[in-house]
Structure formats: structure tokens, C-alpha cells
Chains A and B, each alone.
Chain A
Amino acid sequence: MLEIDNLHKNYGDVVALDGCSFSVQRGQLLGFLGPNGSGKTTTMRSVFSLLKPDAGEVRWDGRVIEPDARLRFGYMPEQRGLYPRMRVASQLTYFGRLHGMEKRAATAATVTWLDRLGLSDRADSRLEELSHGNQQRIQLAAALVHDPELLILDEPFSGLDPLGVQAMIEILIDRAAAGAAVVFSSHQLDLVEDLCEDVVIIAEGKVVLSGPVRELRSRSSHRYLDLEVAAGASRNLADAFNGFEVVDVEPGRIRLRVGNGTDLEPFVQKAKTLGAVRQFSYSPPNLSEVFREVVEQ
């Protein structure tokens, strides 16, 4: 289990981390969310001792992380980077060996991953000769080649096309299923909602919300009411619901934010006066809305 325990980090007057704490179990796939500058990258770098927090500690399996423990971690930084002129296969083998693999094992793992990513024919190409998308795949392989117990990926989906996103999703699910603790950050919240059971949301250097996505949504003090009426209805729906919090409105369709536990009867009555009701739904916020609620507070 990875434990981030009360991390603090200041850069001059800028507070990067202000008591950040959360944990990730083996086999868990955790989405690590937060607006830009909230401290995600700083937290991830702390795990790899790339920077030293002013206070707090990071533990793996209950112990403060030693250099040897980090050999079993995999890291894909936000700022991608490999050796551009080095050949793909020798590059992956090199990273495998830096993580303590024997030469033969590293070579075998390289072959396996290149095969799995469909890049076997590019083994002897220089990295810079590959397309951007393929370079991203190699970057992922460099984080995975030693079969890490903990995988940390900073914005793994950024810059990927839909096929690349799908491939990345499959690999993350697969690694978690294989028993690795997987943490990744992303701004694509719809995707995170589909992919992860658990998320941590960080803002201004501390965790503002964490837990299973389903629970976070239902725990919200708000609900969303979606109403759709027949196209013939001429009245402006926004006028009809004047006084309520309108999230989104378009001809024949409106989304309102209401308090959890609101009596729905008046809304039903009102809807009936507007025309034939096509849809009437009452649901908890989606992950994006939860995110905005906690971050904008």
C-alpha cells in the first residue's frame, strides 16, 4: 500500500502542498484529480524522491521509501522524455536494467511489451523516428517494462488519440487486475468516472474529497433535475423555472441544480403545464460536477 502522509512543500511564498494525505492499495486503480497547480505533480515527484517535502512522509508497505523500494515502482512523468537518438529496444532494456532486472529478463520483457504495443517492427528504430503517438507508447512501456508493483502516471491520456486512449485504459485496468497499485492524474473526468472506482481530489495542496466515485456522487448535497418537453412547447424553459439554479438550457430541454431531498412534486406539476413531458430525471451529480463543487468552493 502506498501512503501519502501529510505532505507539505513550499516554494518561497508559494504553497505547493499543504498537508496532502491519501493512500492506494495494491490492485486499486486511483484517479488523482485536481485543477492545474493544485499539487498533483509535486505529490507524484515526492514518491520518487525527486523533491523533498518540507514535512510529512511517503510510505510503501508501511515503510518510508528507500531507493531499493523505488526499483519496483514505475513512473510516467507529465513531461515525457526518453533518449531521442537511442534505439527503441535498447532504450527499454536499459530502463529495465536500471530497475534491477537481469539483462536476459530485461530483453525478454522488452520483446513482450513491444509485441503487446504492436511495435515489434520498430525495435531497432531510433525513438525520434517514431510518430508522436508511438513515442508515447514507448514512454508507457518504459514505465512498465520491469512489471512494477506501484505505477504512477502523470496525465497519461494527454496527447493520445481515441485508439491510444483505449489502449491506455486497457493497460491500466490490466495492471491493477494483476495486483499493482495504480495512480494516475487526468483532467478528462468523464473518462476517469468510467475507469476508476476511486478518486482523490486535491485543491491548493490538500485533499478536498476522496473515496469511491459512486459514494462521492451520492454524498453530494445537490441533485440534478433534467426535463425534456415536446418540441411544440413554445415557452422559454428558463423563464418558466425562474428562481431556480439553471445549469444548462436549450430548446425543449433544461438541467437544474437542486438541493438533495427537494420535493419533486412542484417540478412535475410545472412540467405538465409546459407541454408533453418526454423525460424527467433526478440524479446525483456526475464526477465533473462533483469536482467543480468541491474545487470552486
Chain B
Amino acid sequence: MNPWATVALVAVRDFRERVASRAFQLSTGLTVLLVAGFILVPTFIDTDGTTNWLIGVVGESPPTLAEAVAAGAGDDTTAATTSFDTRAEAEASLEVGDVDIVVDTTGVIVTRDASNSQLTTLVATVMASLAIAEQAEELGIDASQLTDLFVAGPRVESLSATSEGNESDRAFAFFATIILFMSIITYGSWILIGVIEEKTNRVVEVVLGTVRPHQLLAGKVLGIGVLGVAQVVLIGIVAVTVMTIQDAFEIPDAAGTVLAWAFIWYVLGFSFYAVAYAAAGSLVSRQEEAQNAAFPLTMMLMAAYFIASFSITGENPVLRISSLLPMFAPMTMPIRIAGGDAQTWEIALSLSLMMAATYGLIRFAGRVYAGGLLQSGSRVKWREAWSASE
């Protein structure tokens, strides 16, 4: 029998049984709802997402005041004015919150408290420039001459032309790292539990009568891995769809290359850790021991994550070294690639080491798996499991 056909059978069984399980359906549905909810809820609270300012004016309002304030505040903000006859009336209105700020055209701005400093600054600036324009006109300077007076200062240039792009690429790569981290934690523990379940149910002896240990291992990792990726993609699609409907999402400039690298490292990193989790699972017999067995892996994973999160601002020696080591590379190398810091030879070396290590780990894990699976009772040591099988 074609060995891949066996792997596929195992993978399909693991995939199907989980998809059919009530627990999986519930958790997926719940996660999707939660993600959609987190994106939607803020807009329910602030229905149209805009701010409306009302400026109380004592005396005759300058005609362009409202327009200039709104323009200065940017998108999603409108401003209007309302006139009062006396300052006392205007202040009373400000006190109860009917207007947000009061402008006395004699040259005073009254605020309720210091909270809305953006509005205060804007109104002060606008009033000042209106006064300048008025005085300039009295002095006989026309609008275009006035503009020349306010020519901008020196232009700022950077030696690294795409610096800003690199920052956003790096942020995107770090986002991919977070997803990889979460996936490994979640689906790694599914694999761990799945392996221990087969030992606890003792079905493993029947299965290993025909299936070779590394095939069972590969099938399990593949079945649960594909399911995990499918779940991540589903959640991603829901999130992007909801955000697109709301106009709250812009595809990062990074997309193309960074996305491709993120995907490659995701697959490599996930495979590496998934195989390691399966091997760890084969060493214990009870669910209670699962976390103990996985502890070294979880520590490694946390270390990789922290190196990545401390390095989001830029290159450092720890990041550089760790990006070459297989247990850290999937989380650290994408950030260096996105930042434009990784040399081609470093990427090539890291990729080669990663693939070699994954292959070695599959061989190692297959043997540990075979040795560990049939020993029940106490926790099996790596070395015992290794020597117990062929």
C-alpha cells in the first residue's frame, strides 16, 4: 500500500472526526461570533462614527469659522455655530452642555473644562488666522501675498527612503507571528491531546498493527494541521469581510512579498512544532500529564515570541542569532525579512536549517512515538522511548 495513502487515510479520519464533533463546531462558531462582535460593537455604540461640535458665538460669527474648524479636525467631524446675545447666556448654555465651546468675538474663548483641548486649539488657531487675515487686509496685503508669508519650513528627508514602509511591514510580520504563536498553542495542544487519547483508548495497538508509527504521526499532524489552518482562514475571512463592510480595513502595503514569507514560515513553524507536540504526547499516558510533557516546547515557543515582540522596532543581535535557529526562526526571521534586515544568505541558511531540522524531528519523533506509544503507565523518558523501538 502506498505509504501516502495511509497517511491520507489517517489525516482524513482525524480531520473528519473533529469537524463532526459538537465541541469543534461550537468553539468555531463562538470564535467567529466573538471576532465579528469585537469589530462591530464599537460602531454600535457610536452609530455613525462622527463627532459634531457646536460653537457658541457671542456677537457676530465670522462666516468661515465653522468650516475652518471642521476642516482642521479632519474626517468624521462636523462643526456648526450658534449665536448668543450676551456672554452670560452663552456661558449658561456651555455649562449645561448645549454648546461645546464659547467664542466671544471681543477676543475671549471660554471652555467648560480642559477636556476638549483639540477643539480649543482649533478654535483659537482659526480665530487667530481670521484676525491676521482681517488685519492684513486692512494693511493692504492680499490673500496670495499672505500665503507667501507663511511658506513652509525646510522639507524633511530620510536616508532610508522606505523607512516608513519597513515599519508597517515589520508590524505586519509581527502580526503573522502572533497568529503562528496562537495556532501552535491551540492546535499543538489538539495534537497533543489527540495522541494521548489514542494511547488512553488503547486503539493505538490496533492501528499500529498495520500503520507505521511515522505514518500515524504524519497523518495526525496533517489532519489536525489542515483543520487548524482552515479554522484560522475562516476566522480571517470573517474578520476581513466584516471590516470591509465597515470600511475599517485597509490591506497593508506590505501584502505581496511579506505575506508570502509569512505563509512559508507559518507552514514551516507549524510543522516543526506540531511534530514535536505529537512526540511529546506519545511519552505520556494520561491527559493530566499532557501539559508537563509539552512544557519544554511551550517554553521554547514563549522565548521565540518574546524575542519577536521585543524586536519589532528593529534589528538586534539576539534577533539575528535566533532567526537562524529552527525553534525560533519561524517567529523571528519573518520580522527581519519584513524589515529588510536579513541578508539573502541568512534567509537561505535559516530555511535550510529549518527544513533539515523538521525532517530530523520527524525521524526522531517517529521513533520516539513508536517507543512511547505502547508503553503505558508512568511517563516515558525520551531516551527510553528512543531505545525501546527499532
Contact = CB atoms under 8 A, between A and B. Distances in A.
Interface string A56-95: 0000000000011011010111011111111000000011
A48 B211 CA distance: 10
B21 interface: yes
A122 interface: no
A53 to B, nearest CB: 10
Nearest to A101: B1
A50 interface: yes
Given A48-B209, A85-B21, A94-B13, A68 B374 contact: no
B6 interface: yes
Given A68-B1, A81-B204, A99 B17 contact: no
A98 interface: yes
A118 interface: no
A26 interface: no
Contacts of A142: 206
5 contacts: A48-B209, A81-B203, A84-B201, A85-B17, A99-B210
Nearest to B13: A94
A142 B204 CA distance: 13
A187 interface: no
Interface of A: 45, 48-52, 67-68, 70-71, 73, 75-77, 79-86, 94-95, 97-100, 142-143
A98 B211 contact: yes
A142 B207 CA distance: 10
Given A51-B374, A84-B201, 16 more contacts: A45-B205, A48-B209, A67-B210, A68-B1, A70-B209, A71-B210, A73-B210, A79-B205, A81-B201, A81-B202, A81-B204, A82-B203, A83-B203, A85-B17, A86-B17, A99-B210
A79 B373 CA distance: 13
B39 to A, nearest CB: 35
B82 interface: no
A82 B206 contact: yes
B254 interface: no
B210 A70 contact: yes
B211 to A, nearest CB: 6
B390 interface: yes
Interface of B: 1, 6, 9, 13, 17, 21, 201-212, 374, 388-390
A137 to B, nearest CB: 15
A79 B202 contact: yes
Which A-B residue pairs are the 10 nearest by beta carbons? Answer: A81-B202, A81-B203, A75-B209, A52-B390, A77-B205, A48-B209, A79-B202, A100-B1, A81-B201, A98-B210
Contacts of A73: 209-210
Nearest to A68: B1
A216 to B, nearest CB: 30
Contacts of B390: 49, 52
B206 A95 contact: yes
Contact of B212 (A67, A80, A95): A67
Contact of B201 (A49, A52, A82, A100): A82
A45 B374 CA distance: 10
A12 to B, nearest CB: 10
Contacts of A98: 6, 9, 207, 210-211
B318 to A, nearest CB: 44
A49 B208 CA distance: 9
B202 A50 contact: no
A266 B84 CA distance: 141
Given A71-B1, A83-B203, A48 B17 contact: no
B17 A81 contact: no
A141 to B, nearest CB: 12
Contact of B389 (A52, A67, A77): A52
Contacts of B17: 83, 85-86
Contacts of A84: 201
A48 B390 CA distance: 13
B206 A77 contact: yes
A45 to B, nearest CB: 8
A83 to B, nearest CB: 6
A145 to B, nearest CB: 11
Contacts of B208: 48, 50
Contacts of B204: 81
